Amino acid sequence: MKGPCRIALERAYLFLDGEILTESERVEIQLHLEACQPCYERFGLEKEFTVLVSRLRSQHQCPEGLKRKIWSRLESE
């Protein structure tokens, strides 16, 4: 993957993850995705996946007992 593509996709993924980007960064990403078909396709698949995961996450909550076990294990390490 070329440098400009890697940078554009890294920023696009940050945006998908809820990171705050400047207006100029968002425009730069959009322009790159419009001009670069491979990045556009790759980002499109990632975006769909992220939306699906978000939808599923809001439908299924982790049981409190499982959350406590996970936190307990994380704190003990």
What is the H or E stretch that residue 46 is in? helix 37-59
Q: Please, which pLDDT band fits residue 19 given cuts at 50, 70 and 90?
A: confident
Integer-rounded Cα Rg, in Å, for the chain is 17
pLDDT the model gives residue 58: 66
> Which tens digits make up the pLDDT trace of 31-44?
888 898 888 888 78
How far apart are alpha carbons 35 and 27 in whole angstroms?
12
Q: Give the pLDDT confidence of 52-71 residue by residue, as tens digits.
A: 667 766 666 778 888 888 88
pTM across the whole model:
0.52
Q: Can you give the pLDDT at residue 77?
A: 66
Sign, CA torsion 32/33/37/39: positive
What gap in Å lies between CA 5 and CA 9, rounded to an integer? 6
Q: What is the extent of the structural domain holding 41? A: 3-76
Name the domain count of the chain. Answer: 1
